[in-house]
Amino acid sequence: MDEREQKLFFSFWGTSDGRKGWYDPPVVEKWFGAGETRTIETMDIPAGTTKCQSAHPGANASFTYHVRLADGTQTDRVFTSRYRSLPKVCLVGVEALPDDPAKPETVGDEEAIPASDL
pLDDT mean values, one per 10 residues, the chain (118 residues): 87 85 96 94 95 95 97 97 95 88 52 50
User: What are the beta bridge partners of residue 61?
Assistant: 28, 81
What residue spans define the domains of the chain? 30-93
Question: How wide is the angle at C-alpha 30 spanned by C-alphas 63 and 76, nearest 5°?
Answer: 15
Q: Is the dihedral of CA 62, 79, 58, 30 positive or negative?
A: positive
Q: Residue type for 86, please? A: L
Predicted confidence at residue 2, as pLDDT, reads 87
Number of other residues whose CB lies within 10 A of the CB of residue 60 = 14
